[in-house]
């Protein structure tokens, strides 16, 4: 499984949200994906929070503010701002938020755009993956848990590897299956047990999904796409 694991030292490229000079316009190649990520450690100043919140139209502001915990509000806001940055970088224009929609399964997309994206967050880290093909991403904080409770999610071969290697392998496999499910885009309609993990691929319904995983601090993250030989990671600074 190690050939799809990305070393954390590759997470060094940085984009400053407030500095347009760092938002280098980029043409995504057919065989590559980008992952924008941000980790917050404390609240913004009130003025800074208001500035970022007011980038969104009222509809999306209300979506952010309906959350009670400040951490959940930040995750919701930052996710949309990562899409905002990515759209400018990969489409060469500011995002018109009335084109930011959800399909019948609840998967977000941008209308009349050839760039696909997917958002995930865990605790204080938000990630957003971009590609010219269907893409899914999942990030999970690593915690101690009873892995034997998940035999309805993993095959016997997968459970054998999890039992041998421990909780880190569990989160690697879990994020792979979640990322593939999100790339397919059918919500909870896909039984995770039917997604099979095979080296650097995952297979569902005879279709291969290429997977790229990395471990960042105490979290595991996986990006799944139809074809991606190169995953480029960009840290966003607010």
pLDDT greater than 80 at residue 7: no
**Confidence at 12, pLDDT banded by 50, 70, 90:** low
* Token pair for 195: 């997604």
Buried-exposed string 152-167: b where 16+ CB fall within 10 A, e elsewhere: ebbeeebbebbeeeee
Q: Please determine, looking at this structure, whether the domain spanning 2-237 carries the CATH number 3.90.470.20.
A: yes
> Is the pLDDT confidence value at 3 over 70?
no
Q: Quick check: 31 pLDDT over 70?
A: yes
Domain-wise residue ranges, the chain = 2-237
For residue 193, count other CB atoms closer than 10 A to its CB: 14
CB neighbour list of residue 34: distance below 8 Å, 6 or more residues apart: 26, 28, 86, 89, 90, 129, 130, 131, 231, 232, 233, 234
pLDDT in the model for residue 5: 55
Average pLDDT over residues 76-101: 96
Q: What does the pLDDT read at residue 9?
A: 43
Q: What is the pLDDT of residue 6?
A: 53
pLDDT in tens, 164-173: 999 999 999 9
């Amino acid at each position: 499984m190690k050939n799809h694991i990305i070393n954390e030292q590759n997470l060094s490229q940085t984009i400053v949200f407030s500095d347009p000079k760092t938002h280098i316009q980029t043409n995504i190649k057919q065989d590559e994906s980008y992952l924008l990520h941000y980790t917050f450690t404390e609240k913004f100043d009130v003025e800074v929070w208001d500035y970022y919140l007011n980038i969104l139209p009222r509809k999306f502001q209300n979506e952010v503010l309906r959350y009670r915990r400040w951490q959940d509000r930040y995750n919701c806001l930052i996710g949309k701002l990562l899409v905002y940055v990515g759209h400018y970088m990969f489409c060469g224009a500011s995002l018109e938020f009335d084109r930011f929609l959800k399909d019948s399964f609840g998967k977000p997309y941008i209308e009349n755009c050839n760039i696909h994206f997917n958002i995930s967050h865990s605790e204080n880290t938000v990630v957003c993956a971009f590609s010219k093909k269907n893409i899914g991403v999942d990030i999970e904080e690593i915690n101690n848990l009873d892995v034997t409770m998940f035999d309805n999610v993993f095959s016997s071969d997968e459970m054998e590897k999890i039992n041998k290697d421990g909780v880190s392998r569990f989160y690697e496999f879990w994020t792979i299956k979640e990322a593939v499910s999100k790339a397919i885009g059918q919500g909870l309609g896909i039984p995770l047990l039917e997604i099979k993990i095979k080296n650097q691929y995952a297979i569902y319904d005879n279709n291969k999904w290429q997977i790229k995983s990395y471990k960042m601090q105490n979290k595991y993250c996986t990006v799944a796409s139809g074809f991606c030989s190169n995953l480029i990671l960009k840290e966003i600074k607010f």
